[in-house]
Amino acid sequence: MKNLILTALNDDSALYYDNFIPFCLSLKQTDYQDEVGVIDYGMSELKKDSLHRQGIKIFPASNRVSELLLDRHLSAADIAKKYDYNCVALYDADIWFPSPHLSLFKTIENSTALFAAQDVWFCSFISACVKEQSKQEITNKINILSKKNSGVWQCGVIVGNKDAWQHYQDFVLQSLTMGKFKLEYGIDTTLLNLYSFETNQVQKLPMKYNCLPVAAVEIKGDKRFLIQNELVEGLHISRNHRDEKLVNYRFLYPQQYYTQGRDYALSGNQDYQLTKESLLVFPPQPDHLTLELLYAFANGGHFFTKIEESGEMFKADSLWLEVSGFSQITLRNPHQNTVRLFYGYQSIIGYAPCSEVKICFAQNDFQPQMGSVYFIDLAPNESLSFCTRELDRDGKRIRWFFDNLRLI
């Protein structure tokens, strides 16, 4: 038996770093031993090189329709047929695998059916992609299906053998010739449910394989997730849940994400110590607070210092340090008296903020809130560090600001 776990990617770097890397890292921690592949919808050469290095197969998209969410289904059918896979499981890229076991392919027994989990919602986009003249007809059919099955099918995970995928592809292509549908968001879900209504060829996949956080998930203290007393094997971090620390791989397993994830980073795997001279470019005046720069490193990307002159972003004459990727700036109080430092960090227009921003002081870590102002009293010879960790060094940045500070 030759099985394939498949997902689809375009050149969206946020999806790549925030979701696809957790997808890959967590899948490697399971007992799944077969092939992993990505359908290519315009990935950069850097992304493709990264996938090749990790042994991930890259398949060209079929490009039969303009909507990626539907074309990936047609591509999955073509891939299963061309490469003779026994079973293909097509996943959304924002799913990760919290269990060490992946039993998905053992559940596939009906050779003529696709398998999908039920959604917890009946979303409005199911009917929004239907043209007005056909809306009542299609909506009625899916309503009947929903009442029969106590829900509609969700497209986060679809699995089946090559014949099941081929039957579904034939249905989709035929349906699109009828002039009833608009190729827009939701069309994949609409056609999967319509296929189920017309053919009865979609079977129920246990929700543990495609589990949304809102589906009454029980979280155990050892980072296990349960649904209906079964271990969750696929946690679906949909758009509304991507900043929730209780369910997001990046927050639950930061060490794995920021260390093993560097193998998937597109640039900046090497850390560099910065020379002090490159940062000591603004000499202090008598009224400035001064702190000694003990240490600074970054993994390339962006590192920039300036003085705020306008006072529009923060106080005039404050010191700015803009950073990206992995960075650390360690400052020490060289004075014989305690000094008070006011600081904070801001976002930078055109960039998302770094994923992890923290202050390291007295062997404790503190994660400040973006846009807030903090102060700390440093005793003589005390030091503190301003740190970021971010795999996407080119797409994410922050700006540290320090009131009335100069470095020496």
188 pLDDT above the threshold of 80: yes
CB atoms within 10 A of CB 3: 19
Burial state string for 202-227 with b = 16 or more CB within 10 A and e = fewer than 16: bbebbbbbbbbbebebeeeeeeebeb
Percent of the chain with pLDDT over 70: 98
3-state secondary structure of 4: strand
Q: Which residues contact 364 (CB under 8 A, 6 or more apart)?
A: none
CB 214 within 8 A of CB 154: no
Q: Which residues contact 317 (CB under 8 A, 6 or more apart)?
A: 307, 308, 309, 404
Spatial separation of the C-alpha atoms in residues 39 and 75, rounded to whole Å: 8
Spatial separation of the C-alpha atoms in residues 58 and 226, rounded to whole Å: 33
Residue 334 burial (10 A CB sphere; 0-12, 13-18, 19+)? middle
State the CATH class of domain 3-263. alpha beta
Backbone dihedral angles phi then psi of residue 4, each to the nearest 5 degrees: -140, 130
Dump the DSSP string for 114-169: EEEEEPSS--THHHHTB-HHHHHHHHHHHHHHHHHHTS-EEEEEEEEEHHHHHHHH
7 pLDDT above the threshold of 70: yes
Please choose, from the candidates 75, 151, 71, 153, the residue with its C-alpha nearest in 3D space to the C-alpha of residue 116.
Answer: 153
198 pLDDT above the threshold of 80: yes
Torsion, Cα 298 350 309 317, to 10 degrees, reads -40
300 pLDDT above the threshold of 80: no
Residue with tokens 């921003």: 357
- Dihedral (CA of 181, 186, 187, 192) sign: negative
pLDDT attached to residue 280: 85
Calculate the alpha carbon distances from 177 to 66, 182, 295 in Å.
Answer: 14, 11, 65
Mean pLDDT of 48-68: 97
Dump the DSSP string for 326-351: SEEEEEE--SSS-EEEEEEEE--TTS
Residue 35 burial (10 A CB sphere; 0-12, 13-18, 19+)? middle
Most confident option among 4-8, 283-287, 316-320: 4-8
Spatial separation of the C-alpha atoms in residues 355 and 251, rounded to whole Å: 9
Which of residues 270 and 179 earns the better pLDDT score? Answer: 179
Start-to-end CA span in the chain (Å): 65
pLDDT attached to residue 58: 99
121 pLDDT above the threshold of 80: no
126-140 pLDDT, tens per residue? 888 899 999 999 999
pLDDT attached to residue 214: 81
| Pure H helices in 249-297 | 249-252, 254-260
Q: What is the mean pLDDT of the chain?
A: 92
Confidence of residue 216 (pLDDT cuts 50, 70, 90): low
Which of residues 276 and 174 earns the better pLDDT score? Answer: 174
pLDDT attached to residue 221: 67
268 pLDDT above the threshold of 70: no
233-255 pLDDT, tens per residue? 999 998 777 778 888 999 999 99
* Identity of the residue numbered 368: P
Extents of the domains making up the chain: 3-263, 272-407
Spatial separation of the C-alpha atoms in residues 181 and 76, rounded to whole Å: 21
CB 352 within 8 A of CB 362: no
76 pLDDT above the threshold of 70: yes
Please choose, from the candidates 97, 121, 147, the residue with its C-alpha nearest in 3D space to the C-alpha of residue 215.
Answer: 121
Task: Look up residue 197 and give its two tokens.
Answer: 């209504």
308-363 pLDDT, tens per residue? 888 777 888 999 999 999 999 999 999 999 999 999 999 999 999 999 999 999 88
356-408 pLDDT, tens per residue? 999 999 888 999 999 999 999 999 999 999 999 999 998 999 999 999 999 99
pLDDT attached to residue 310: 80
Please choose, from the candidates 326, 303, 330, 302, the residue with its C-alpha nearest in 3D space to the C-alpha of residue 389.
Answer: 326
Q: Which CATH architecture has domain 272-407?
A: Sandwich (2.60)
